[in-house]
Chains A and B, each alone.
Chain A
Amino acid sequence: MKPTPTAFHSTPFPQEPLSTSLATGTSYWQDAWRRLRNNKLALAGLIFILLITLAAIAGPYFSGYSYADQDLPEANQPPSSVHWFGTDNLGRDLLTRVLYGARISLSIGVAASFINLTVGVLYGGIAGYAGGRIDNIMMRIVDILYGIPLLLYIILLMVVLGPGLLNIFLALGLVYWLGMARIVRGQILAIKKQEYVLAARLTGASPARILMRHLIPNSIGPILITTTLAIPEAIFTEAFLSFIGLGVSAPMASWGVLASEGVVSLRSYPFQLLYPALAISITMLSFNFLGDGLRDSLDPRMRK
């Protein structure tokens, strides 16, 4: 039907103000937080992570023992009111050692996320934004490194470098950005064709500014999820290395070292394994629950 002037007629202007008929908007982050809050496991994980961080920072000052002082007459004491977690075969207070172990494990987690957030994000970001040949070469390098069983090379690196916390950071740093680089590149590829990027380019923004101010902040969801899930992986790697004798050096003790000592005395003093094992497992569990929760609450495809 062809529109004729008589087909149109004016409608009365709405009497009520427009704003009341609109729902108040929720921002992406409000929405995400609301969903995360409803996920009890993720929330419990977050709370436990905050608690263990607090305990790792402050705990050793209040335990009343040092992690290194030996007290042989007190060796292998079961948990009591004096030593809450008991003592090890050299009479050292296990609670204190577990708390110090928390410092080491968590600092490894922090180091891993730092590497992820700097090297991984920048590498993936540059490859994704540059595109073309640069992207091809950069991702080929990542592919080749991915093809190598990296844990074996972390082991080899630790054999060469020798045990020690700094060397663990170094070994993790060399390989722990690969997954993040891939994810960020994929994100950037998906969003760099959008209009706001074109608009930024038209106003003369430099590629670095577009990357840092527009593309990376808009990939923050996947970046956050990957970081959260990289932390337990790093903690696990450290525990694994310590277990096969390549971790931190004595008398420092990480959870992996404590667990491997605990396995040796499993027959006679099972409690010596129990506490470090619980510490590792609950911490890993918390990060994994939190990571899963973040994925569910930040992934826009899950939005209903």
Chain B
Amino acid sequence: MIHYLINRLASMLLVLFVIVTATFLLMHAIPGGPFTTEKNLPEAIQKNMEERYHLNDPLWKQYADYLAHAATGDLGPSFKYENRSVNDLIRESFPVSAELGAIAIFWAVCLGIPAGIIAAVYHNRWPDYIAMFLTTIGISVPGFILAALLIFVFALQLDWLPAALWEGPSSTVLPALALTGLPTAFIARLTRSGMMEVLNQDYIRTARAKGLSQYTILTRHALKNALIPVVTYLGPLIAGILTGSFVIETIFAIPGLGRHFVTSIYNRDYTVILGITIFYSALLVTLNLLVDIAYVLLDPRIKLSEGKDD
């Protein structure tokens, strides 16, 4: 286990290093640099600004500074908003995104797992067909379309829920639902296939032979093993929630980090784009590591080989 942990931590650090380096190189591949705008700045101002942001240092020094800063968690200033650092931005807006994401994951688990169980128990009968049809729709309809549809029906036509902003519990319902469509569908499908595999196994037959009720068999015996594939999906799930939040927060005008990211893309605020990219990447890589560890702890059958699958 220790060996496995060290190995995983080392590869995580390698991935983070690749991420920071790739991000840095991409930033410097931008033609003209971050201060090139349509109207030409006077040369003196241009120089001053480059001085202030150390853009006239040699490339290797900028890279070393960048690595050192990134290692200490300092993601640099915003080029567009003076006196505002990327760290400030993340501190202000990430809690909103995290709350929205947590609500969406909660919904995905609460809707997806029961749907998957029902589909597996009624395999190849109409509840299964309905569940599979709905999950395929959930996978096929992009989040921004689902969001627009929800706004149109529940905010504009029925006027039940607010169409935008982040004020009070009622405003969380529509964005969380729009965000939860895809992960719910995935969780339902994984639960279904996991459940179908488990239900054919001998220990389930034994449980039936003992005369246990269907409910006890499902909840006490089958579910635990059936949910292991779902645990592996948690990493991609969080990644999906995160990228989904870019569009959902933009559509619902929610002051989260996702919307700031999209705004900074529109504004070409390069340091913010890079800072948020690094923040999100580091977050995802760390969460993936935690998920993998949880996976190993949950399922003693998994052999600890160093991430190789042969």
Contacts and interface: CB of A to CB of B under 8 A. Distances in A.
A151 B225 CA distance: 31
B90 to A, nearest CB: 15
Given A147-B285, A284-B140, A246 B310 contact: no
Given A149-B281, A152-B277, A244 B250 contact: yes
A266 B15 contact: no
B281 A281 contact: no
Tell me the interface secondary structure of chain A in the complex.
Answer: helix
A288 B133 CA distance: 11
B262 interface: yes
Contacts of B310: 186, 189
Given A149-B281, A156-B26, A259 B136 contact: no
A260 interface: yes
Given A244-B246, A244-B265, A262-B148, A156 B277 contact: yes
B251 A144 contact: no
A289 interface: yes
Contact of A277 (B11, B148, B265, B307): B148
Contact of B18 (A144, A240, A262, A281): A144
A153 interface: yes
Interface string B233-245: 0000001001100
Contacts of B11: 143-144, 147
A239 interface: yes
A267 B140 contact: no
Interface residues of A, number: 41
Given A144-B15, A148-B19, A285 B140 contact: yes
Which one of A149, A155, A240 has the greatest number of beta carbons of chain B within 10 Å? A149
Interface string B142-155: 10110111011000
Contact of B273 (A156, A285, A288, A292): A156
Contacts of A236: 142
B297 interface: no
A246 B145 contact: no
Interface of A: 41, 139, 143-144, 147-149, 151-153, 155-157, 159-160, 186, 189, 232, 236, 239-240, 243-246, 259-260, 262-263, 266-267, 270, 273, 277, 280-281, 284-285, 288-289, 292
A-B pairs with lowest CB-CB distance, top 8: A284-B140, A285-B140, A147-B15, A277-B145, A281-B141, A149-B284, A244-B262, A151-B243
Interface of B: 11-12, 14-15, 18-19, 22-23, 26-27, 29-30, 133, 136-137, 139-142, 144-145, 147-149, 151-152, 156, 239, 242-243, 246-247, 250-251, 262, 265-266, 268, 270, 273-274, 277, 280-281, 284-285, 288, 307-310
